[in-house]
Structure 1
Amino acid sequence: MTPWVNSSTIDHGLLKAMLTERGILAMIIGSQAVAFIYTLSSGKDFWLSLGLVSLFTHANAFVTLAIIAAAAKLTKKLNFKTELGVVLFTFQFVCFITSILVQYSVFSPVFPVNWQFVLNNSAICGFVVILLLHFMAIYIDNLNTIAHAANAELEALQARIRPHFLHNALNTLAELCHENPDAAEEAALTMAKLMQVAFASGRKHSLAQEISLTKGYLAIEKYRFEHRLNVNWQIAEIDLNATVPALIVQPLVENAVVHGIEPLVSGGNIDIDITHDGSKLLIKVTNPYNAQSKSRTGQGIALNNIRRRLLIYFGPEATLNTSQKSGRFSTIMRLPLGALNEISGS
């Protein structure tokens, strides 16, 4: 059984895969290999023959890719058998037509048409296409495996961060129950709404929802820290409907509270700046920092968790950097707008 028969992603991915950099490169290499082998077997002037045959094979390849690109753009998602039929038919049709047209060219005019030449080219094209599809299927299966692995890791990372979020919020409520029962009741109501959003948002939501989630978390912490916690928001004119990973800003702010505000008797200010830098969303969280102060062990969100999720969602296009200067600790996150990977669906 060929690998592409049992692939769960090739059903809707063959045409798309043919148009990727890997697919186009495979086409170019395959076309040139056919031209080289054909020239060696012909016994004619090698370099002249290689040039003409290469021109013929590459023309076939790129015309076929252009038709496949148009088909992929104009049609909806197709099943595997349909996509396979489209690719095979397109290759064979283009090869058949060009094999006829080339006989009317100034390079090798033939009359009448040499149908043996046409059939030989079609047979070679069919054999090469079958090999190409076989290796493309292996490539797609590898992508499928990687996507499943990334998906599982993403679920694990998300599963870690939500209980952590809940643990810290409950810890705040526990402290408030002893110190300020009225505030604890209000905080509990706020947390109920917050948990509903946090656990129902899936793995992505709008930037506006993430900001609302973060403000809800800060409202709970404000009950506990009171005047020790001051937050300054600076939100530029950006698209608040832009899709971002869920719980991507809130953990940075929680990290700032746990490691920046909690250890300091006098508290301090947290600055949250959200703007854009060209095509990237820029999120900067700054908090006071004293290297000699100790926060609660294990309570801060691990930045490695966030970095790993960013890598899965955006690849190398997203970055998370930290810096420390003049008693202030800054975390700067850059996210490419509109570039969430498909595996990041809810």
Structure 2
Amino acid sequence: MLIMINVGWLEYDLQAFIINVLFDTIIGGGFTLVFLLYFLRRYREVSALKKSFEYKLTAQNDVIKARLAPHFFFNTINTLVSLIESNPSRAASLLQHVSALFRASFEGAREISFEEEIALCEHYLAIESIRLADKLIINWRLPDEDVMYDMVITALMLQSVIEKMLLNVVEMTTETIYIDIEVTWQQHRVTITISVQLPKKTLMVHYDLRQHMNFYIQAERLRAYFGQSADIQSTVTSKQIVTVIDYPLQDVSL
């Protein structure tokens, strides 16, 4: 009888031990799972932060390169040198355009009014027109002034797109290149369509053009200010390049 009691006690003690072990295992596993989920979340957050930081570094790199753009800088200096003796008044005018453009460039990425961006584009085109002469004709189709008054964009966004067109198309031919720029603002979205008519006689390698018409960095800068739905897409055909800048913009007057 005493042995039976002891065996029963042992069985009870073993069951309690097993239950305690299972309970400790479940609790321990639960805490482990919670910590794993926490560290996994932190890892994802750190990875996303690192990726975002790398994007920002790339964008800053691009801005620095744009500020110092060797081809544009040296071409402008050479033009100024030639104008100082032959046409001093035109050289002075060119310096004003250069000053305005480079001042905006060194102020870095920021949100400016659309009218300011158009003015920066005009400064840039005034500089380049001295070199390009009659090789470039730009046709602007802009909203009314009262509409443009409320519009904003990131600084030098449109200018950088136009610069790529000049560098990869206009400077590659002796023919006159026509660029149409149409700006609309409807249903809280701004759409800027830049259409470039490719030369008919000059051979342009379209595969290379598709590679050069990549506006990834500009699109990232646009999304940083206007959200993930902002985008820049470019289509290259045998006859033209069509680049569309599209981003959301609420009408503050409503």
Q: Does the TM-score normalized on the shorter chain lie above 0.5?
A: yes
**1:137 counterpart = 2:46:** no
Q: CA offset at residue 141 of structure 1?
A: 1.3
- Out of 233-242 and 180-189, give the one that drifted further: 233-242
Q: Aligned-pair distance for 1:234?
A: 0.9
Question: SS at the partner of 1:285?
Answer: strand
- After TM superposition, list the pairs within 5 Å mapping 1:28-43 onto structure 2: none
Q: Indicate how the Cα distance of structure 1 residues 204 and 262 shifts in structure 2: closer, same or farther if over 3 A, else same.
A: same
Tell me which amino acid in the other structure corresponds to 2:66.
I
| Matched residue SS, 2:156 | coil
- 1:172, 1:221 within 8 Å by CA — same for their partners in 2? no
Residue identity in the other structure for 1:186: S
* Alignment check: 8 A CA contact 1:235 1:275 kept: yes
1:250-269 matches, cutoff 5 A: 250-262=159-171, 265=174, 267-269=176-178
Please give the alpha-carbon distance, in whole angstroms, between the structure 2 residues aligned to 1:248 and 1:220. 18
User: Which residue does the alignment assign to 1:152?
Assistant: 57
Q: Distance in 2 between matches of 1:261 and 1:160?
A: 21
Which residue does the alignment assign to 2:244?
333
SS of structure 2 residue aligned to 1:194? helix
Gaps of 5+ in 1: 1-122, 296-300, 340-346
Counterpart check, 1:246 vs 2:151: no
> Structure 2: which 5+ residue stretches go unaligned?
1-27, 205-210
Amino acid at match of 1:250: Q
Distance 1:330 1:276, change over 3 A: farther
**Shift in Å at residue 229 of structure 1?**
3.8
Offset, 1:250: 0.9
Look up the equivalent residue of 2:248 and give its one-letter code.
L
State whether residues 115 and 149 of structure 2, in contact with CA within 8 Å, keep that contact through their aligned partners in structure 1.
Answer: yes
Q: Distance in 2 between matches of 1:175 and 1:325?
A: 37
User: CA 1:308/1:226 → structure 2, altered by over 3 Å: closer, same or farther?
Assistant: closer
Change (3 A) 1:321 1:232: same
Partner AA of 1:335 in structure 2: D
Correspondence for 2:20: none
Cα RMSD, aligned residues only: 3.8
Distance in 1 between residues matched to 2:198 and 2:187, nearest whole Å: 30
| Aligned match of 2:110 | 204
Please give the alpha-carbon distance, in whole angstroms, between the structure 1 residues aligned to 2:165 and 2:217. Answer: 19
Change (3 A) 1:137 1:194: same
Change (3 A) 1:254 1:159: same
Work out the percentage of aligned pairs sharing the same amino acid: 19
Instruction: Output aligned runs, 1:263-278, within 5 Å.
Output: 265=174, 267-276=176-185, 278=187
Match of 1:307 in 2: 216
Measured in 2, the distance between the counterparts of 1:278 and 1:185 equals: 43
> Displacement of 1:286 after TM fit?
2.8
Report if aligned partners of 1:183, 1:223 keep a CA contact under 8 Å in 2. no
More strand by share: 2
